[in-house]
Amino acid sequence: MAPTSTQWLASGGAYFIMFGQTALVAVVSCWLALQVGKASDAENDGCLLAIANLLLAICGAAVGFFLV
């Protein structure tokens, strides 16, 4: 018998969804940061902004997973 969607979420599926969302946000925000840096002729600043976005996403996800 296949598990229902509620059982799947309760057995750890919610963590998978949260991880996927966090990874997607981190990738998109890093890409946007690099594009902003490239558009303003400051690739180094864009790279630094991308690194900062990635670190904030990782720290935010760690706190979120810990509190859940």
Q: What is the pLDDT of residues 10-23, one digit of tens each?
A: 777 778 888 888 88
Amino acid identity of residue 10, one-letter, is A
The answer to whether the beta carbons of residues 25 and 64 sit under 8 Å apart is no
Q: Does 7 fall in a domain?
A: no
Q: Provide the residue range defining the domain that includes 54.
A: 14-67
Domain presence at residue 26: yes
- Counting Cα atoms < 13 Å in the Cβ hemisphere of 22 gives 18
Q: Is residue 24 part of a domain?
A: yes
Number of domains in the chain: 1
Does residue 39 form part of some domain?
yes
Residue 4 lies in a domain: no
Tell me the pLDDT tens digit for each residue of 13-62.
Answer: 778 888 888 888 888 888 888 888 888 888 888 888 888 888 888 888 88
